[in-house]
A = this chain, B = another copy of it.
Amino acid sequence: MAKEGVEITEETEHMIEKNGGKEQEKLLSAPGNKEMRAVVLTGFGGLNKLRVTKRAMPEPQEGEVKIRVKACGLNFLDLMVRQGNIDSPPKTPLVPGFECSGIVEAMGDNTKGFEIGDRVMAFVNYNAWAEVVCTPLEFVYKIPDDMTFPEAAAVPLNFVAAYMMLFEIANLREGMSVLVHSVGGAVGQAVVQLCSTIPNVTVFGTASLSKHEAIKDSVTHLFDRSADYVQEVKKISPDGVDIVLDCLCGENTGKGLGLLKPLGTYILYGSSNMVTGETKSFFSFAKSWWQVEKVNPIKLYEENKVISGFSLLNLLFKQGRGGLVKTVMQKLISLYNQKKIKPRVDSLWALEEVKEAMQRIHDRGNVGKLILDVEKSPTPLMANDSTETSEAGEEEEEHEDNNDNKERMPFIQ
């Protein structure tokens, strides 16, 4: 089934490449029982490598749930995937996307636990940005009646990551302090909401000045991302902080460790500072590996410090910890039902608007989560603008190089 999908896609892409945008539009409007629309990454690179096309409809294998997708989450990680800037990237063409919400449409043989029509959210190991997706039972979770599909698509990667970092790794408790970078992003906003469930937690956050007005109420001390945050934090808390959540990597690792109080925990959960320009997958990854400062355990011993890394995707898809994540999901759903958390959705985009959505996350325009709304039609302006968008994608490298001050959004697993 997967093989068939790839064949159809390749053929379709070939046609699109030969015939241009109009052919694509015709294909999308053609109804077909065994086909579905999906965002396809044709190769690693700029925005021009993304297109919406028809693919074979997947059918659930044993142990899988088939979901009619309503909304998908878009993360900084998806930009890294697009560029091939991840460890062991899969082969292209591929359908990106690691999380979605929707309605259960079918179950594989001998698969129990859901009814057709159940409203769910799910992790997917790629393939989420499509009208239909199949994923193993253990990665699917029922959602509360009053949780919207866009909200639900914002929960899996960001809230689970934020929860596990704060409570599974760092043991956040009353009176502690947390420093989080890119606090206006989706993980950042999940972190501040979860911190607010514990009494008397101080949140230090960095974000672009343009976001400050929108997020100032959620953060105790907010700094411009270009400020010297080490000095700013020390002015307020000379002792430092209890928890540092770092999605930037690079020199921020040393700075973060330096800011920790005794028994404090630094968690690296992304490396968005390591992403520059386009593609160069393996090379860029290897470069970031060597650029990061190594840590001497004896220094940790003398200073009573904790350093860790957190990759939710590896935890789920390489390390088989779906059971643990399920218990975290239950806690998050309980917090949602108690109205203690509520995913903050920045904006909704049609599948066909994925390039604009990616550009927005790249340009640090979002406050909270970017959602691909599968049932949304592209706004006429956007649809007419498609050629322009494509050019924007091709110009992305230069664009990035000229904007060193721009905020990098979190690399969310």
Contact = CB atoms under 8 A, between A and B. Distances in A.
Contact of A268 (B249, B265, B293, B300): B300
Nearest to A271: B298
A292 B300 contact: no
Interface in A336-361: none
Interface stretch (A49-57, A110-118, A150-158, A311-319): A311-319
A310 B321 contact: no
Total identical chains: 2
A263 interface: yes
A315 B301 CA distance: 10
B307 A298 contact: no
B314 A303 contact: yes
Contacts of A379: none
A43 interface: no
B296 A305 contact: no
Contacts of A169: 263, 306
Contact of A171 (B168, B289, B292, B301): B168
B295 A268 contact: no
Interface in A254-287: 262-263, 265, 268-269, 271
B304 A309 contact: yes
Given A169-B263, A294-B294, A321-B263, A303 B299 contact: no
Contact of A301 (B168, B268, B295): B268
A297 B292 contact: yes
A297 B168 contact: no
16 contacts: A168-B171, A262-B314, A262-B321, A263-B324, A268-B297, A271-B298, A271-B301, A289-B296, A292-B296, A294-B294, A300-B308, A302-B314, A304-B314, A304-B315, A306-B307, A307-B307
